[in-house]
Amino acid sequence: MSDIREQVMAALSTVIEPELHKDIVSLNMVRDLEIDGGTARFTIVLTTPACPLKDVFLKRCEEAVLGTVPGIEQLDIRWDSQVPVDRRIQGRLNAPMRSIIAVSSGKGGVGKSTVSVNLAVALAQEGAKVGLIDADILNPNVPQMMGLNTGRPKVVNNKMQPIEAYGVQIMSTGFLTSPDKPMIMRGPMLHSAIRQFFTDVNWDQLDYMVVDLPPGTGDAPLSLAQSFPLAGAIIVTQPQSVAVSDAIRAAAMFDQLDVPVLGIVENMTGEFFGSGGGEAFAQERGLTFLGRVPMAANVREGGDYGRPVVAVAPETAAGAAFAELAQRVAARTSVVMMQNADVIPINIIG
Ligand SMILES: Nc1ncnc2c1ncn2[C@@H]1O[C@H](COP(=O)(O)OP(=O)(O)OP(=O)(O)O)[C@@H](O)[C@H]1O
Beta-carbon contacts of residue 304 (< 8 Å; ≥ 6 apart): 144
Q: Answer yes or no: is pLDDT of 191 > 80.
A: no
pLDDT tens figures, 310-323? 999 999 999 999 99
Does residue 268's CB lie within 6 angstroms of at least one atom of ligand 1? yes
DSSP β-ladder status, 16-17 and 22-23: antiparallel
Residue 306, marked binder:
no
Q: Answer yes or no: is pLDDT of 24 > 70.
A: yes
Task: Give helix then strand counts, H and E, for the chain.
Answer: 12, 17
Does residue 139's CB lie within 6 angstroms of at least one atom of ligand 1? yes
pLDDT band at 185 (very low <50, low <70, confident <90, very high): low
d(CA 269, CA 251): 20
pLDDT band at 72 (very low <50, low <70, confident <90, very high): very high
pLDDT of residue 350: 39
Does residue 267's CB lie within 6 angstroms of at least one atom of ligand 1? yes
What ranges in 73-229 are assigned the alpha helix state H? 87-92, 112-125, 142-145, 187-199, 219-227
**Residue 116: half-sphere exposure toward Cβ, Cα within 13 Å:** 36
Q: Which of 107, 113, 114 to mutate to test the pocket of ligand 1 (most atoms within 8 A of CB)?
A: 114
What crossing angle do the helices spanning 241-256 and 219-227 adopt, rounded to 10°? 40
Q: Answer yes or no: is pLDDT of 349 > 60.
A: no
Residue 335, marked binder:
no
Phi, psi of 206 (to 5 degrees): -105, 145
HEC assignment per residue over 105-119: ECCCCCCHHHHHHHH
pLDDT of residue 341: 67
- Which tops the pLDDT comparison, 230 or 177? 230
Query: What number is the ipTM of this complex?
Result: 0.98
Q: CATH for 85-344, among 3.40.50.1820, 3.90.110.10, 3.40.50.300, 3.90.226.10?
A: 3.40.50.300
How many residues does this entry show for the chain? Answer: 350
- Which tops the pLDDT comparison, 202 or 272? 202
pLDDT of residue 187: 63
- Which tops the pLDDT comparison, 343 or 173? 173
Does residue 285's CB lie within 6 angstroms of at least one atom of ligand 1? no
d(CA 128, CA 130): 6
d(CA 51, CA 335): 12
Does residue 44's CB lie within 6 angstroms of at least one atom of ligand 1? no
> Whose alpha carbon is nearest atom 2 of ligand 1?
295
Instruction: Tell how far the Cα of 115 is from the centroid of ligand 1, in angstroms.
Output: 8
pLDDT band at 278 (very low <50, low <70, confident <90, very high): confident
What pTM did the predictor assign? 0.91
Instruction: Tell how far the Cα of 112 is from the centroid of ligand 1, in angstroms.
Output: 7
Q: Which of 300, 307, 316 to mutate to test the pocket of ligand 1 (most atoms within 8 A of CB)?
A: 300
d(CA 269, CA 294): 5
* Mean predicted confidence (pLDDT) in 93-113: 93
Q: Answer yes or no: is pLDDT of 302 > 50.
A: yes
pLDDT tens figures, 231-263? 999 999 998 777 788 899 999 999 999 999 999
Q: Which of 113, 138, 217 to mutate to test the pocket of ligand 1 (most atoms within 8 A of CB)?
A: 113
Instruction: Tell how far the Cα of 263 is from the centroid of ligand 1, in angstroms.
Output: 19
d(CA 226, CA 224): 5
Residue 129, marked binder:
no
pLDDT of residue 64: 96
Q: How many CB atoms lie within 10 A of CB 169?
A: 22
Residue 319, marked binder:
no
Does residue 218's CB lie within 6 angstroms of at least one atom of ligand 1? no
**Atom in ligand 1 nearest the alpha carbon of residue 136:** 27
What architecture is the 2-81 domain classified under in CATH?
2-Layer Sandwich (3.30)
Q: Name the residue ranges covered by the structural domains of the chain.
A: 2-81, 85-344
**Atom in ligand 1 nearest the alpha carbon of residue 214:** 27
Average pLDDT, the chain: 90
Please, are residues 171 and 163 in contact by the beta-carbon 8 Å criterion?
Answer: yes
Q: 2-81 and 85-344 share one CATH topology?
A: no
Please, are residues 48 and 19 in contact by the beta-carbon 8 Å criterion?
Answer: no
> Whose alpha carbon is nearest atom 23 of ligand 1?
109
d(CA 93, CA 50): 26
d(CA 49, CA 47): 7
pLDDT of residue 193: 82
268: left (phi over 0), alpha (psi -120 to 50) or beta: left
